[in-house]
Amino acid sequence: MNKKIFLFVFALFSVIYTVFSQQTTESPYSYYGIGELNPDGITEERAMGGIGIFADSTRVNMQNPATLSHLKLTAFSGGASFDYKKIVSNVTKIGTNSTSIDYVVLGFPIVEKLGVSVGLTPLSSVGYKLASRQTVNGVSQLNQFEGNGNVNQFFISSGYELYKGFSFGASLKFNFGKIEMKDLLRISNVDFYTQEDSKSLLRGVSANVGLHYTRALKNKMRISSSLVFTPESKLNSENERIISTFGNANTGNGANLIAKETQVKNLEAIGLKETKLTLPSQFEIGFGVGKDLQWFAGVEYTHSNTEKFSNPFLSTTNVNYENGYKIAVGGFYIPQYNSISSYWKRVTYRAGFRYEKTGIMLNNQSIDDFGISFGLSFPVRGFSNITTGFEFGQKGTLKQNLIKENYFNLKIGITLNDRWFQRTKYQ
């Protein structure tokens, strides 16, 4: 057991640097808020539209900590994804791709009706390169914007069954990360350019609580309901801003931009050296019905109090925030979980749909996001499995001269099961 714990801890923390440092998105919309939010859940849940209602005895549900009370086996899960986007505007279109580690999580039962999980997952990611040209008093100006970074979560969760199918759970999340932004202003017929570099080191604690209820009916039918509340939280932001002036210089290899003057902004004098970033509250409610070891279908609604988001340091003037919401529908089907004659009858087939109002409003136009997902979970040994998930979706709009993203996500997840902290009884 100690060897397994050591291997898990080593694997978990060996990816912390990778997850922390990598740029995991290419999206103009990551310019806003805290970046592009990472979808909740493990690959199995993301392949069902992202619903987190189902409580599994062999897999960790990262969305509702109350479901951990149902764990019967130790479950180690990891997931990664490949994302392709076609970014379209009224004048151009480009293709981008990125890869990312989505999560590493370990869940295990402590005693009957009590389960615990620990893990690491990105909360959000920033990655964009934008440009806009405008004319001011007859003079052409080119603004270039570039950003990268991410915010990650290390979490500890626990769930306990209070009474006959009714469970309560809570998660404590430690958030950390760095976001960098560069703004370059070029004015035509002027040999000097101005660049503003802004950096924020973010850290803070957040939490959520969850309730889950499941009840068996006749003919192996079962109903389930889920409720999760995440209160508003604050991240401490330690900030730095550098203003640089660049000019053209001929180095023999053509004209290159070189720094002429650099000034470190005195943020302490204007109260921006250390600020608080507000993460808004949200709640999720879901309901599902299914037949044990055969099928499940559920619907989930999430409301986010996005209008409360604020970041005094990296604030933008062309965006408003409104309350957002998400509706997700999904489920799975297993033809025959114990089939001996056909491997494909033991495969779990998953599908789902989601529609989301992100809470971002540009030029009085709400930014929406919707996707269709499906996936396959392949049993490999015992209760372990490998899951592949696919999602096709669209984010944004061409209205009001905005940007539309058409995207495809390929996700791969693995879940390994074993028995820890449990004694085998011989009779």
Count CA within 13 A, CB hemisphere, residue 313: 30
Would residue 268 count as lying in a domain? Answer: yes
**What does the pLDDT look like over 90-120, one tens digit per residue?**
888 899 999 988 999 999 999 999 999 999 9
**302-315 tens-digit pLDDT:** 999 999 999 999 87
d(CA 43, CA 363) in angstroms, rounded, equals: 35
pLDDT at 424 over 50: no
Q: Which domain holds residue 194?
A: 2-418
Give the burial class of 220: count Cβ atoms within 10 A of its Cβ; 0-12 exposed, 13-18 middle, 19 or more buried. Answer: exposed
In a domain, 426, yes or no: no
Contacts of 8 (CB under 8 A, 6+ apart): 76, 106
Rounded distance between C-alpha atoms, residue 116 and residue 106, angstroms: 8
Model pLDDT, residue 137: 74
Look-up of token digits 């009957």: 112
In a domain, 389, yes or no: yes
Decide: 416 and 8 in contact? Cβ < 8 Å. Answer: no
CATH number of the structural domain spanning residue 145: 2.40.160.60
Residue 377 makes CB contacts below 8 A (sequence gap 6+) with 44, 332, 347, 348, 350, 385, 386, 387
Token pair in block for residue 217: 């009916």
* pLDDT top residue among 168 and 13: 168
Average pLDDT value for residue range 408-420:
89
256-273 residue pLDDT tens: 666 667 888 899 999 999
User: Domain count of the chain?
Assistant: 1
423 falls within a domain: no
pLDDT at position 418 is 78
Q: What distance in Å separates the CA atoms of residue 170 and residue 155, rounded to the nearest whole number?
A: 10
pLDDT of the residue at 170:
98
What pLDDT, on a 0 to 100 scale, did the predictor assign at position 427? 32
CA 34 to chain CA centroid, nearest Å: 11
Secondary structure letter of residue 139 according to DSSP: E
Give the pLDDT confidence score for residue 6 in this predicted structure.
Answer: 57
Reference 420, options 110, 161, 113; nearest CA is: 110
Give the pLDDT band (50/70/90) at residue 133. Answer: confident
pLDDT of residue 14: 60
In 10 A of CB 157, how many CB atoms? 27
Q: Assess if residue 427 is contained within a domain.
A: no
C-alpha angle 57/59/63, rounded to 5°?
105
Is pTM beyond 0.75 here? yes
Domain membership flag for residue 241: yes
